[in-house]
Structure 1
Amino acid sequence: MSVSVVDIKQNTMFGYLKNRLIARLSYELKNESIQIVQPDLDKLRSPLQQFTLEQAFTEDEFTLLLLALIPHIFPNFLNDIISDFLPKGGEFPEFGGVKGKNHRGILPTGETVQYILAGNDLEKRIEVTELFNEDHIFAKKGILYLDSVPKGEPVMSGQLILEPEFVELLTTGTVLKPKMSSDFPAQRIETDLVWEDLILNKKTLQQIKEIETWLKYNHILLNDWNMKSRIKPGYRVMFHGPPGTGKTLTANLLGKYTERDVYRIDLSLVVSKYIGETEKNLSKLFDKAKSKDWILFFDEADAIFGKRTNVRDAHDKYANQEVSYLLQRIEAHPGLVILASNFKSNIDTAFTRRFQSMIEFELPTSMERLALWKNNLPRKITVEKSIDLDELAKKYEITGANIVNVIQYACLKTISENNKSILKSHLLEGIKKEYQKEGKSLQL
């Protein structure tokens, strides 16, 4: 019979946490010593056990992780233990802990961690604060942290928070992907297409291959070759060119073939009319991403990365501060950041100087358009014999996205009319619609 990760009654890891907490309370309140028996991790089979072994946590780190996870599984865990020692209730400030809006149990704080790990030992309590340093594994990997506190209150009185994806990982063994919200203004994007579907000129493809090389081998350069002190972390790239030329698809494919999640930032959720809110939104995003191996893709980046203005009023002043703050966060970010813009001239030169690569996505040539037509037409149905794809490619200067839209339109027409092949007239109608969308006239 397998041992459940949430079965406190058996010799589980949470049984160990209960034992350690009782031992601390017995020593501090009753001057009694209780032996703490560590769980045999080799005999347990759970996501929490596997994660603990992989990270090689110390005993104190292990206890802290358990304490951060316990409210998500046993809301009454801490209350029950405390009530056994204080049956009449009363204040117990040494233990720390806060109440939530919905959660009715005790939510542990940094002070709770100090009490369990150090009791009233002053030197040990100070050592415990190092578990929350920025260079600790908990912060580096974005596992857990202390929530901010009102000005003037002790930092360690902040609530102990385990990131949602680690709650999911430690309880179910699966990684929870963050969902787009005001706290996380980005959406994960992916594609079923392959590199062969990306039709670009050789120069652009070569520059993209350089990014792929960085994604695959940068860790060797920094760590094995000891170049951390000489090379800035992260890689900053700008994609510029007309809409529909492959910028988003390229970002997707880079993620797909280097096994990284790609997150497209929704600028409408980032930018706020309220002073200071934009920086807060961006801070949440970069704080979340710094410990992950993600690719951040800022589409239509000129909306926020645009040229800074001359300061005429308070609005201009804070708008420029937003740009400066963003520049700082991008420079410090250790991963790949891609900015996409339709026009290179719209981007502030203060940003462009800091890019490792500026990649232009040009309108496809007639040969590239021909490849796009051939790649995207469905294989399960024929096209009308009068259709000359080479003629379409030479005559109509449209992007890859336009071509996909045209083919979609023609295919739906074919299905609705129950035709046995795609008609030339439907393709031409689709092309005309694409021209009209861009304010261009076309005589068929």
Structure 2
Amino acid sequence: MTNIARHTTAIILAAGLGTRMKSRLPKALQRLGNRPMITHLIETAREVFDDVVVVVGPDMPELEKVVLPYRTIVQTDRLGTAHATNMAKDLFGDGDIAVLYADNPLITADTMRKLTAARQTGASLALLGMRPVNPGRYGRIVEEQGRVSRIVEFKDATEDERQITLCNAGVMCAGANDFRTWLAAVDNNNAQGEYYLTDVVAMAATQGRVQCVEAPESELAGVNSRSELAQAEATLQARLRAAAMEAGVTLVSPETTFLSTDTILEADVVVEPNVFFGPGVTVRSGALIRAFSHLEGCTVGEGSMIGPYARLRPGTVCAADTHVGNFVELKNVDLGRGAKANHLTYLGDASVGAETNVGAGTVTCNYDGYFKHRTIIGERNFIGSDSILVAPVTIGDDALIAAGSTITEDVPAEGLAFGRARQIVKPGRGLEIKQTLKAKKEQG
């Protein structure tokens, strides 16, 4: 929550379709750091503003769902940014409002605070500006006698105005009542035939001081195409990597490490090159994530070693001092303290006890084509190479499974199990079983 005395509301404009993205998704739902762009902006805005309102387009139920619990207003007709902002006027309140854009997802809380501070120090309107390397088709901020007088859109600008390097980022902050008055006066007499929010700048300048707060292009550049989305991702990844290293994480090759926004890497974690962290990953202190590994929705315990070429899928929890080696895949697995699965193994829907060693080529057969089943492996077991564990099955503590075995029955604690049966073929039985299982599934 903000410490600013008057109530503040962020109005986020997110009605754009993003036709240059060539996607069925609204532009605001394109992903950065493995979550929608608008989620980044909302979470940052909530650090600064008391309330958030999102203006969406018609037929955007997915977007409305993503922004919950924040209120949404539908802009039925896309008639420009002033029109979109005006749609939310009844939710402005009586304090200050700031207009933000869903396709500017990387604005920092510090920059937002500078914007609101400029407004609080007497400006009738504060806005964000930048000096991009290539100003391109950005609107230009026109200053007269050292003060902002207006903004001119690129299509309406003269050749002299297009030489201005200070560009409009679109974000602005002013009093709610002033905004209502200005928006009512905006017309669509321009090259696009739209109601430009930028027109309020000239109105504000006649009433008082308009202050421009400059911020880096990396924060303010718009995301309107796949190419710009990739550039924004690069900016975000650089931030995430820098924050991780500042917190005591070693990234051996930072530029090849991909982090999600919610990735948690504790101090003294070491990450080798070419590692991908999907959503929902926590890696505890002292763990080593070796090269070319892929982690998603999982927890890695202290002192564990994962990879190289390992894949940890959602629901997996590796306790402290575990080893998951090359070409091993774990899905929804609890791997006990000190347990190892070092080579060429698939464990799905399984619990593996402490100090158990799972040999190369072991597979838990957790899926019968219709239903998932769980494998329970106790502590201090040795699972021989190329063992097939057909779930549901339980193996007690201190057991030994002979290499090459197919285990279909429970194994008691301290037992030795062989499962190397002769091949038996029963004609027609396979189809019969499949039909029976399908009927059970259809019957619920």
Instruction: Please give the TM-score of this superposition, normalised by the length of structure 2.
Output: 0.23
Structure with a larger share of its residues in strand:
2
